Amino acid sequence: MIPEIIIGILCIIGYFYIKLRRQWNFWKDHNVPFPPPEFPFGSSPVFCWNSFKQKINMNDMARNQAIALGFPKFYGNYVFGAPNMVVCDPEMAKQIMVKDFDHFVDRQGEDFTKLLAGGHFVDKLWANQMTSLPGDRWKNTRATFTPVFTAGKLKGMIKFIYEVTNDLVKSVGEEAKSGKTFELKEKFGKFSMDTIATCAFGVNAKSFQDNDSTFAMNARAVFRNSRADMMRIIMALIPGGKTVMNIFDTPINKKDVTMFFYDIIKGTIEHRVKTKTRRNDLVDLMIDAMKAEIPIEQDKEEDGQFDKDAKLNHKVVHKQVDEITMVATALVILVAGYDTTAQTMAVTSYFLAKNEDIQEKLYQEIMECVGEMENESGHPDYNQIQSLPYLDMVLHETLRLNPVLGLITRACTKDYIIPGTDILLKKGNEVHINAMAIHANPDIYPDPEKYDPERFTKEAKSNRHPYAFLGFGQGPRNCIGMRFALLEAKLGLFAVLRKYKFVATPETVDKFTLDPGAFLSAPKEPLLVKVVER
Ligand code: HEM
């Protein structure tokens, strides 16, 4: 009861704050469609009352809004009373994400960035993450760490992923022996966690051996938001709230969990420097990148349109290794890479279990590759795993039907006139690219509810707008970890599917719904399947 009263009081204060800023006739005055605003946060799925009350996942809400409005090119919304534009058209998405990128460098408005930055050391670690950094500070960090994620560097890290893949296959083998159903999100969660732990933190998280290993428990805690966590965020957002928090030395973000990861990465760096050991993992590469010691190499794989659009023309101002940036970057790999990759693998396996013909076609492709493999490790090498078109198509179709991040945000960094209109978006206003809606538009993807990897043949792709797929975002602020994620997912699925077949059982849900409490489009129901040995 007491938390509800406090939330109620905070909402009233918030309401008056919004009243000062609100421009609720903005879209109406410009004849732009908008969903009905909801007290007190406006109709934006990110901040709407329904989402907050945990009734509907915000990504679902974004898709429903677009469907209800008939998939307009764009529609209007309000974030805390300020207008924000929601884009449902691939060409307009390209305009925002690439052509007019200098107006949309940031991911969130200046006010929000400042509010969440905080003065506490813990908050500094979060505010320095690439996902939330603004302007030139983001450009510096992004340009510094881009060479870490090139194909050439990933090749050097593949051996660590092989090791975790062996644990995954062993664990799936035990499920096959038991003959019982098991939960896919949990299984691939362990795989994703251990991959990130070994590559980005230089430690063995041992998730497969011990579900409650300290690393796993802390990593899971990053993603779980209690009422107290939500209240600290709300407190920081109301005027004067942060001052009170500073007086009580209370950070906005979770203190113990953040410091756990801080200690790990700090310890790993100190150990490497002291013992002069090198693993060529992400930790070493990040240290090199901070010292500007990674030569920029252009791989053939990286000259496609996606990479061309991602080019960032920025000269990095180098400084000595900065502990905060290093820890923040290791943390962002965990935050942005753990759940996203685990969920993509789990949902793909679920769809394979539900679609036997697709799984069989993929199995044939995998077995052809196995026939050509000479690698002593028993795994495909980098080039072999990248040359499996159907595996790639399957993963893309999973992310089309269920994009992990259904709303991709940008904030206006300079006033902007929406092309073809006289509508002025002011600096600080947000734009949401509704990937959920673009992926569900029947004019772009006929029969959009159907899981069909054939939508991603070379020919099918060439007949569509390139921005009709936004699973990894687009432009200079796209997903920096895309190659890493795809490599990890492909190696893991390859190794499992080669030996085992996913089978749907009466316990497998017909259709999953999305978790209303999650920011990502995460399945709410357990994804239960069986595996049988081939
Ligand atoms: C299948 C797995 C993944 C999916 C679907 C995914 C998707 C995305 C999307 C949609 C964005 C926003 C892009 C935009 O705003 O245009 C993003 C950003 C980002 N992702 Fe991923 N991601 C995945 C895995 C990873 C991994 C493994 C890492 C780290 C190794 C990572 C690191 C990041 C970072 C740092 C950003 C922010 C980039 C910036 O602001 O410059 N992601 N991701």
Is the distance from the beta carbon of residue 14 to the nearest atom of ligand 1 less than 6 Å? no
Q: What pLDDT score was predicted for residue 313?
A: 79
Atom of ligand 1 nearest to the CA of 408: 15
Q: In this predicted structure, which of 134-138, 258-262, 372-376, 497-501 has the lowest mean pLDDT? A: 372-376
Q: Give the Cα separation of 457 and 141 in Å (integer).
A: 35
Q: What pLDDT score was predicted for residue 150?
A: 87
Is the distance from the beta carbon of residue 480 to the nearest atom of ligand 1 less than 6 Å? yes
Percentage of the residues of the chain whose pLDDT score is greater than 70: 88
Determine the length of the chain.
534
- In which band, very low, low, confident or very high, does the pLDDT at 1 lie, cut at 50, 70 and 90? low
Q: What pLDDT score was predicted for residue 273?
A: 82
The answer to the question of residue 51 being in a domain is no
Average pLDDT over residues 8-28: 66
Q: What pLDDT score was predicted for residue 175?
A: 97
The answer to the question of residue 1 being in a domain is no
Beta carbons of 511 and 485 less than 8 angstroms apart: no
CATH code of the domain covering residue 324: 1.10.630.10
The answer to the question of residue 149 being in a domain is yes
> 479 alpha carbon to ligand 1 midpoint, in Å?
3
- What tens digit of pLDDT does each residue of 248-258 get? 888 988 889 99
Q: Read off the pTM.
A: 0.92
Q: Give the Cα separation of 322 and 290 in Å (integer).
A: 8
The answer to the question of residue 32 being in a domain is no
Give the mutation target among 97, 139, 479, 488 for probing the ligand 1 site: most ligand atoms within 8 A of CB.
479
Whether 410 has a pLDDT exceeding 70, the answer reads: yes
Q: Which residues contact 446 (CB under 8 A, 6 or more apart)?
A: none
Q: What pLDDT score was predicted for residue 378?
A: 85
Is the distance from the beta carbon of residue 481 to the nearest atom of ligand 1 less than 6 Å? yes
Is the distance from the beta carbon of residue 134 to the nearest atom of ligand 1 less than 6 Å? no
The answer to the question of residue 196 being in a domain is yes
Is the distance from the beta carbon of residue 472 to the nearest atom of ligand 1 less than 6 Å? yes
- What tens digit of pLDDT does each residue of 458-494 get? 999 999 999 999 999 999 999 999 999 999 999 999 9
Nearest C-alpha neighbor of 53 from the set 105, 11, 107, 94: 11
Average pLDDT over residues 231-256: 83
Give the mutation target among 160, 281, 434, 472 for probing the ligand 1 site: most ligand atoms within 8 A of CB.
472
Average pLDDT over residues 511-531: 92
Domain count of the chain? 1
Whether 497 has a pLDDT exceeding 90, the answer reads: yes
Whether 386 has a pLDDT exceeding 60, the answer reads: yes
Q: In this predicted structure, which of 238-247, 294-303, 372-381, 506-515 has the lowest mean pLDDT? A: 294-303
Q: Answer left, alpha or beta for residue 240, where phi above 0 means left and psi between -120 and 50 means alpha.
A: left
Atom of ligand 1 nearest to the CA of 142: 41
Percentage of the residues of the chain whose pLDDT score is greater than 90: 52
Whether 293 has a pLDDT exceeding 70, the answer reads: no
Average pLDDT over residues 25-33: 89
Main-chain phi, psi angles of 328, to 5 degrees: -60, -40
Paired residues of 434 in beta bridges: 407
Beta carbons of 121 and 266 less than 8 angstroms apart: no
Exposure on the CB side of residue 339, measured as CA atoms within 13 A: 19
Is the distance from the beta carbon of residue 474 to the nearest atom of ligand 1 less than 6 Å? yes
> 275 alpha carbon to ligand 1 midpoint, in Å?
33
Integer CA distances (angstroms), 33 to 26, 29, 77, 465, 515, in order: 11, 10, 9, 24, 27
Q: Is 225 exposed, middle or buried (0-12, 13-18, 19+ CB in 10 A)?
A: middle
Q: In whole numbers, what is the pLDDT of the chain averaged over residues? A: 87
* ipTM higher than threshold 0.95: yes
Is the distance from the beta carbon of residue 285 to the nearest atom of ligand 1 less than 6 Å? no
The answer to the question of residue 36 being in a domain is no
Q: In this predicted structure, which of 66-80, 288-302, 363-377, 502-516 has the lowest mean pLDDT? A: 288-302
> 396 alpha carbon to ligand 1 midpoint, in Å?
15
Whether 32 has a pLDDT exceeding 90, the answer reads: yes
Whether 44 has a pLDDT exceeding 80, the answer reads: no
Return the higher-pLDDT residue of 58 and 375.
58
The answer to the question of residue 527 being in a domain is yes
Is the distance from the beta carbon of residue 408 to the nearest atom of ligand 1 less than 6 Å? yes
- In which band, very low, low, confident or very high, does the pLDDT at 390 lie, cut at 50, 70 and 90? very high
Is the distance from the beta carbon of residue 335 to the nearest atom of ligand 1 less than 6 Å? no
Is the distance from the beta carbon of residue 522 to the nearest atom of ligand 1 less than 6 Å? no
Ligand 1, atom 31, lies closest to the CA of 481
Domain span at residue 97 reads 89-533
Q: What pLDDT score was predicted for residue 297?
A: 60
88 is in an annotated binding site: no
Atom of ligand 1 nearest to the CA of 410: 15
Whether 132 has a pLDDT exceeding 70, the answer reads: yes
The answer to the question of residue 353 being in a domain is yes
